[in-house]
Amino acid sequence: EPEVTQTPSHQVTQMGQEVILRCVPISNHLYFYWYRQILGQKVEFLVSFYNNEISEKSEIFDDQFSVERPDGSNFTLKIRSTKLEDSAMYFCASSAKETQYFGPGTRLLVL
Amino acid sequence: SQQGEEDPQALSIQEGENATMNCSYKTSINNLQWYRQNSGRGLVHLILIRSNEREKHSGRLRVTLDTSKKSSSLLITASRAADTASYFCATDATSGTYKYIFGTGTRLKVLA
């Protein structure tokens, strides 16, 4: 069964550094998403992406964040200058329509 | 703002018993989804129910939706230890952008 994959599974970085989180969505899906979950808290929507552009973004998704689909298979989330409060699990998801399938997540720790 | 809230926050039952979790939300929706999350892992999609549906089944799962009360329930019948996880409802806005708002989750523990 096709699934969403994410790399790396864990990332530790210093405050102020740039990180790129990578995702490979399910191949015939057209909608892509990033969510995050701070430890012990809700899953929060960050951004949705369709037809090579952002469809919607939350207030969390400020200028420090960007997304890109650099080729036909990858979908990336970049955080330009990480802050301590960016420490969280980041989930990529993809969908053909309403049902979103999530990857296993990247646990980001900012020191 | 649109928000899903599950109750109870935590539920502990014996293997073989049924588990019922509830979700309430505030604004109109197109559909509602239930997800399972094992500790520290990804979200597994369980079931989607559309706003014009009242009940849906998938194996041991039964989901109901009452749009007049803005609530949904997830019933797991004949629970197993492997069902131990957190369960979340997620609702979409009617804007059609497929942005989902997740609830706070119910932590289910099934004792063997």
Residue B39 has pLDDT above 90, yes or no: no
**What are the φ and ψ backbone dihedral angles of A30, each rounded to 5 degrees?**
-115, -15
DSSP one-letter string for B77-90: -S--GGG-EEEEEE
- The mean-pLDDT minimum among B10-14, B22-26, B41-45, B97-101 falls in B97-101
**pLDDT value at position B1?**
41
Tens-place pLDDT, residues A2-42: 899 999 999 999 999 999 999 999 999 999 999 999 988 88
Contact A93, A103 (CB under 8 A): yes
Cα A43 to the chain's mean position, in Å?
A: 12
Q: Do B43 and A98 touch (CB under 8 A)?
A: no
> What's the pLDDT band for B2 if we cut at 50, 70, 90?
very low
Of B43, B48, B97, the CB nearest to A43: B43
Residue A45 has pLDDT above 70, yes or no: yes
Residue B96 has pLDDT above 70, yes or no: no
Q: Give the residue from B43, B50, B52, B102 with the most A CB atoms within 10 Å of its CB, the best one to mutate.
A: B43
Q: For residues A64-79, give the mean pLDDT.
A: 93
Tens-place pLDDT, residues A76-97: 999 999 999 999 999 999 999 8
Q: Which of A55-59, B76-80, B102-106 has the highest mean pLDDT?
A: B76-80
Contact B19, B11 (CB under 8 A): yes
